[in-house]
Amino acid sequence: MTRSLAALVDGAAERLVREGFSPADARVDAGVLARAVLGWDVATWLARQQAPVPAAAPALFEAAIARRARREPVAYITGEREFYGRPFRVTRDVLIPRGETEFLVEAALACVAARRGAAPRIIEIGTGSGCIAVTIACEAPGVRLAATDVSSAAIAIARENAIRHAVADRIDFVEGPLFAGLDSEPGGWDLVVSNPPYVARRDRDTLAADVRDFEPDLALFGGTDGLEVIRALAPAASRALAPGGSFVMEIGAGQAEAVRGLIDACRTFASVRMQPDLQRIPRIVVADRE
């Protein structure tokens, strides 16, 4: 009997379970990788999963499953991750977009909306894949942005994603740390957005292998305590913001009070708000400049 695609996925899921994956995760990962190999969307898969396996598919699928069995993230195997309803190109040069970072985008868009039609000057620090800057540009068609990153490889991926979503003409990508390489004067920005590295290096061994062994250290770790980049970023954002501007940043679990202290120490912010994620962990900081 000719083997069906569904049976091929069943066998791959069983292999992943033997490698220590939960049955639910194994099933999802095997299905996603099968669709990626075939170039099918979910609807096509549902309609054709009982079809015979195409001749070239088994070898490609086996290679993908072998990579996943070694804990390589699915997004790096497929080269793509969805964020805010849009597909984004990802490689091992950039952090994989997370669902909680969509809260950062929502907070930034709320700041844009609060300006009541005035086009704000926006900059993202540490753009990575560009998912934040590109999403803001897509959701707020009237705005222009700048986006910086210390990694030239990340800048290339971000620019590729901006082109893919037809907003490259409204985002200036700049290689360099924080605000370096930009011509703007102090106080030249209305909104500073960032998802900085905030994982404590001392916690490296507690991370899942998917994260620890594959995602870029540069985008993950913020020094020994996770706050090294934020210590530099908070005062830099304070100097960069115009009066009435806002600083919106994602932070890690347990960092809220320390980050509040760093922002308060700038002595230029009139208010600091902490917004929780779905687990009620303070995740997004919104600090408004006096």
Q: Is the pLDDT of residue 1 over 50?
A: no
177-189 pLDDT per residue, tens: 999 888 666 788 9
Structure confidence at residue 20 (pLDDT) = 97
Q: Which residues are registered as beta bridge partners of 284?
A: 250, 275
How would you classify residue 143: left for phi > 0, otherwise alpha for psi between -120 and 50, otherwise beta?
Answer: beta
70-87 pLDDT per residue, tens: 999 999 999 999 999 999
Structure confidence at residue 186 (pLDDT) = 77
Torsion (CA) 95, 98, 102, 105 in degrees, nearest 10? -10
Structure confidence at residue 33 (pLDDT) = 97
88-110 pLDDT per residue, tens: 999 999 999 999 999 999 999 99
Task: Supply the Cα-derived Rg of the chain in whole angstroms.
Answer: 21
Structure confidence at residue 182 (pLDDT) = 83
Structure confidence at residue 119 (pLDDT) = 84
189-219 pLDDT per residue, tens: 999 999 999 999 999 999 999 999 999 999 9
The reported pTM is 0.94
248-287 pLDDT per residue, tens: 999 999 999 999 999 999 999 999 999 999 999 999 999 9
